[in-house]
Amino acid sequence: MDWDLPTPFVIDIEVNATDIDGYAHANNTAYLRWVERISWAHSECLGLDLDRYRALDRAMAVHRHELDYLAPAFEGERLKLATWIVGCDGRLTLTRRFQLIRPADGRTLLRARTRFACIELSSGRPRRLPVEYASTYGDALVAE
């Protein structure tokens, strides 16, 4: 794969009938669901799952999504979605990048970026990153 950055965390995506819209290609909301899926999968792989978030009463909530749709995906296609943590200020925010590739032709279908802010689950208010988050996510940083 021709990934934009080194050492991606990658998952396989199969475009299902439920992902398809009236234009006969994957709806933009499907791409967003895939971005959410890989974000959780990567966090879980790093040891920060929902149970850990709840135990610490902290979560990384989406502050901003930027998705660049570069080419359509179609039902039955098998895709590869990658993510990287490209920013972690150690205080409040975390930034991820994403790239979706169709291996059949090597084409990049999506490039995206999501910025997260740390919140207290019990109140929904912004809070400082726990040391565990800052060190775990910080250790996974990839330079852009």
The answer to whether 69 and 109 are in contact (CB under 8 A) is yes
pLDDT at 1: 86
Q: How far is CA 56 from CA 43, 74, 129, 142, in A?
A: 15, 40, 10, 25
pLDDT digits over 28-67, tens only? 999 999 999 999 999 999 999 999 999 999 999 999 999 9
Where does residue 16 rank: exposed (0-12), middle (13-18), buried (19+ CB within 10 A)? Answer: exposed
pLDDT digits over 106-142, tens only? 999 999 999 999 999 999 999 999 999 999 999 999 9
What residues form DSSP beta bridges with 64? 115
Fold classification of 9-139 is Thiol Ester Dehydrase; Chain A (3.10.129)
| Tokens read off for 28 | 């933009």
Nearest Cα residue to 15 out of 2, 3, 1, 33: 33
pTM: 0.96
CB atoms within 10 A of CB 23: 8
Nearest Cα residue to 75 out of 18, 5, 2: 18
Q: What span, in angstroms and rounded, lies between the C-alpha atoms of 106 and 1?
A: 7
| Tokens read off for 87 | 């920013």
The answer to whether 118 and 57 are in contact (CB under 8 A) is no
